[in-house]
Structure formats: C-alpha cells, structure tokens
Amino acid sequence: MNQIEHIKNNLQGLDALAILAYINNHFGDKAIFSTSFGIEDQVITQMLGELQGNIKLFTLDTGRLFPETYYVWNRTLDKYKLPIQAYYPQAAAVEEMVSLKGPSSFYESVENRKECCFIRKIEPLKRAIKGYQVWITGIRSEQSDNRDQMDFIEWDEVNQIIKIHPIFYWTLEEVENYLKTNFIPYNPLHDKGFPSIGCQPCTRAIQPGDDFRAGRWWWEDKSKKECGLHVTTN
C-alpha cells in the first residue's frame, strides 16, 4: 500500500477537525496550509486556531488583491494570533512583464493571463511549499467541474507533495453555517455576489445560478478557468 492510500484509509470517516489533528500529529511542522482568506479557508483557519498545533500557514499576495481581502487578513490575525507567512512575486519578473506588456496584459490572451498567474501565484507558491510534505487547502468538490474530479487526498506530481482537502465534501451551506456558528471573520465581498475571490482585475460578482467560478477570468472559456495552482499532473 502506498503512502497516499495508507493516509486515506486512516482519514476515511473523520471530520475536518480530526483530519487536521491527524496531519498535525503525523506531519507537524512539515505540513502547511495555504489561505486566500475565502470562506472555506477561514473555516480551516478557525480549526487550526482550535488545534494550536505546528501546522504552518501562508498566503500569496499577488499585489492585485481587493482591499476587502486585506481587511479580512488583518481581522484573521487579530482573532487567531496565528502567524501567516506572506509570499510575494519576484519584483524583477513583475517589472519585466509590466514594462513589456503593460499592467493589463492578462485580458489580451490566455497565454498572457497564465504568464501573469505564473509570476504572481505559481512561482511564489513553489517557494512557499518547498520542503514541506503536506499541503492543506480549502478546496471543495462542488466548486467546479474540474474539482469534482479530484479526491480529498492526492499526490501532487507537479509539486511533489501530498495534498489534503479537509472540507472537500462540505456543501456551501455547511460552510456558511460554520462561519455563523463560530463567528468567523470573512471577506465582505462574499455578501456582494463574490463566491470565489482572487485578484481584483480578474474577479467580479456573479448572478444567481451562475457557476461558482463564473466571476473568475470571466472573459475566458469556462474550460480554462484555473490559474494552475491546483494542477497536480504534468
């Protein structure tokens, strides 16, 4: 039995808090959680605050975030007192891209948008998770068709790391109820029709009945709406 299957067997049937406790007990400071301060990530941060374990936290500041994201970032630090390591894009790469193509090149082609995502998100991510054994995320299966094909634990071949999604099978209603019950700070944009919040120029509110990620890179085809952070195979 390989390591993924072994861990999966141990985690089957456990709730999210118990999954995080298992990760903390078996991997400790070799496990890291990525937060973008969305409601799912806030749920996991609340649980990590309860655990007070050794799991590390980080976030990617692309330089194009909403003011509301910084607001909830500050509120999260105030409430949980958990250090959240910030990773930024390499200044030279941003300067070169913007100098050659302008500040809004990502609207012009999928290739340009992926270049921007790589510089602002993918490269910093690789630095953030380097040396860790487990990467924890707030991904839920119903967030998109692509994510519905994933599993709550998987091997990320691209980044050579185990990925675990503790609330993978939660519904949006469960997330929202957990937020209210535990008085968890969250991004006020969620109350304005933003279910998925990324960079400000690339995110907008959606209409009732729209796909969860319809507001991300809305000018592109639905099939292309991933930035590459959660691509697990080459």
Kindly report the CATH number assigned to the domain that includes residue 185.
3.40.50.620
Categorize the per-residue pLDDT at 229 as very low, low, confident or very high, splitting at 50, 70 and 90: low
Distance, first Cα to last Cα, the chain: 24
Residue 131 in tokens: 């040396």
Q: Is residue 229 part of a domain?
A: no
How many Å apart are CA 25 and CA 153, to the nearest integer? 17
Helices 110-117 + 91-101 axis angle, to 10:
160
Q: Would you state the pLDDT for residue 212?
A: 76
**Which listed residue (117, 199, 202, 227) is catalytic?**
227
Question: For 12-66, what is each residue's pLDDT tens digit?
Answer: 999 999 999 999 999 999 999 999 999 999 999 999 999 999 999 999 999 999 9
Using only C-alpha atoms, the chain has a radius of gyration, in whole angstroms, of 17
How many Å apart are CA 98 and CA 199, to the nearest integer? 16
Q: Is residue 85 part of a domain?
A: yes
Q: Is 70:63 a contact under the CB 8 Å cutoff?
A: no
Q: Would you state the pLDDT for residue 218?
A: 87
> Which class for 79: exposed (0-12), middle (13-18), buried (19 or more C-beta within 10 A)?
middle
- Of residues 82 and 222, more confidently modeled: 82
How many Å apart are CA 25 and CA 37, to the nearest integer? 25
Question: For 91-107, what is each residue's pLDDT tens digit?
Answer: 999 999 999 999 999 99
Q: What is the number of residues in the chain?
A: 234
Q: Is residue 231 part of a domain?
A: no
Question: For 200-227, what is each residue's pLDDT tens digit?
Answer: 999 999 988 788 778 889 888 765 555 5
Average pLDDT over residues 122-132: 98
Q: Is residue 156 part of a domain?
A: yes
Which residues does residue 32 pair with via DSSP β-bridges, in sequence order?
A: 56, 135
The count of domains in the chain is: 1
Residue 59 in tokens: 């976030």
Question: For 148-197, what is each residue's pLDDT tens digit?
Answer: 568 899 999 999 999 999 999 999 999 999 999 999 999 999 999 999 89
CA 66 to chain centre: 15
Residue 140 in tokens: 């839920």
Q: What's at 223, amino acid-wise?
A: S
Average pLDDT over residues 130-141: 96
Q: What is the H or E stretch that residue 69 is in?
A: helix 67-80
Q: Is residue 233 part of a domain?
A: no
The domain of 122 spans: 3-224
Q: Would you state the pLDDT for residue 221?
A: 76
Residue 69 has pLDDT above 70, yes or no: yes
Q: Is residue 172 part of a domain?
A: yes
Beta strands 56-60 and 85-87, pairing class: parallel
Q: 199 an active-site residue?
A: no
Strand ranges of the sheet holding 134-136, from the earlier edge strand across to the other edge:
85-87, 56-60, 31-34, 134-136, 161-164, 153-156
Categorise residue 110: left if φ over 0, alpha if ψ from -120 to 50, beta otherwise.
alpha
How many Å apart are CA 44 and CA 18, to the nearest integer? 12
